[in-house]
Amino acid sequence: MQIKRTKIIWILCSVILTLAIGAFVAIGDTSNANFPRPVKDALDGIAMSTCACGPEVGGGSEENWRLAKPITYENLTIFPIVAPGDSDTSGFETLDEALASGDAIVSEQGGAIQRTRDGRAQPSYSGAQVNQLVLVNRGKRPLLLLAGEVVSGGKQDRIIGKDRIVPIGAPPLPLDVFCVEHGRWTSGTDKFAAAKTMVHPSVREKAAVEQDQGQVWAAVSGQGARAGRGGTSSTATEAAPVISSDALSSVIASSAPTQSYRQIYQSRAVGDSVESFAEEIERRFNREKSGMKGERIVGVVVAYGGEIAWSDAFASSELFESYWPKLLRSYVVEALTRPAFREIASFDDARDFLRPAAGHVREESDPGVYRWSERTEGRRTEIALESLRPKPLLLHWLKLTSATDARVGPMYRDR
């Protein structure tokens, strides 16, 4: 009798152990045990099926991202990321909104900002610097900044260096930036305005990941540009890029002598191509969007030729729509600077791109305000920005594939 009872217990233990091992294997790489909370909570809930994929919207809700039918034009393919619901992000203000309304002021170090809206004295900063500005949030909502957003004016146009949140009533913030106008260091005013522009991914990567001013300048002027998987030479399956390094040199000489990013990529020689391309993508994108019932687009996965290269996703469709016009044009500029490969990225590759990375993680935070984290695995880098108040919320999720060509070394010294 005792032997029989022991045998039954042994069989039950074996079954339980087998089930536990099977569950662990099924979870696989999506467990992300080292990823910071609450992003880890969002990633842990992923259910991989024929469509569901990616970190969950809202930092831990049960809503999963799903890829919709891709939109392809020329060498650019965009896979919409959709969700069955939205998180409430109305409590945040974008940089373009805040600069346009006066809720935010961005100035050179040592600029003319002396007092906040309620009259409190501000600390003074002396000496303008290439890679640092001063930002004051005078509004009634936390301010959302994304790496790669352009602010225009001052002594040079700059781009935001890193995703972050600026809380209400914060003291003047020393803001890390990168210059995207190498040939100017003069101004009639120290203030900056909303440019409503996002630099294209090759430049944005150098700021957000490499964090190197020389590489940013080189990418703006098209030096060391991405060639894609086929290298720099043309083959029978590709056409030369519409915006070549020679074309950029010509534009800089004629229309953008200070090498201003905005002047280069909004010039007639380049800008007309960007706008016509963007309008066609937007027409196809809106057609796909109109057929969706009960789902919201919260982001996109972007491919050039057969290479999945980039993804921007947000906590809500409202935030996505706020950034979409300038994000779209940034993706188009990138497409026009790459060879026109005839290959088209697959749906499976796009879905696989949204799987959470499993490499080394680096984290920074402003306690009680936000947490920023970066994870790198091979050529892929994943950046997450979480707000911590009033509740944990994954506001922006960026993933990219680094350039296949040799990294561009610093070309200039900071001023």
Q: Would the pLDDT of 146 be above 90?
A: yes
Query: Are 259 and 251 contacting, i.e. CB atoms less than 8 angstroms apart?
Result: no
Q: Comparing 23-27, 213-217, 373-377, which segment has the lowest mean pLDDT?
A: 23-27
What distances in angstroms separate CA 147 from CA 119, 205, 260, 356, one per listed residue? Answer: 31, 9, 18, 20
The residue ranges of every structural domain in the chain are 41-401
Name the pLDDT band for 184 (thresholds 50, 70, 90): confident
Confidence check: pLDDT of 359 > 60: yes
Give the pLDDT confidence score for residue 107 in this predicted structure. 94
- For residue 65, list its beta bridge partners: 53
Of 23-27, 101-105, 286-290, give the range with the top mean pLDDT: 101-105
Please report the pLDDT score of residue 256 as a whole number. Answer: 86
Which DSSP string corresponds to 158-211? EEE-S-EEE-TTPPPEEEEEEESBTT----S-SBEEEEEEE--HHHHHIIIII-
pLDDT for 118 equals 47
User: What stretches of 214-323 adopt beta strand conformation (E)?
Assistant: 296-304, 307-314
Say which residue, 4 or 234, is predicted with more confidence. Answer: 4
Calculate Rg over the CA atoms of the chain. 23
Model pTM? Answer: 0.80
Note the pLDDT tens digit of each residue in 281-313.
999 999 999 888 888 999 999 999 999 999 999
- Residues 300/79, Cβ–Cβ less than 8 Å: yes
pLDDT at 5: 54
Q: Give the whole-angstrom CA distance, residue 282 versus residue 294.
A: 21
Confidence of residue 13 (pLDDT cuts 50, 70, 90): low
Q: Which long-range contacts (CB under 8 A, 24 or more apart) does 39-45 make?
A: 39/371, 39/373, 39/384, 39/386, 39/394, 41/392, 42/394, 43/356
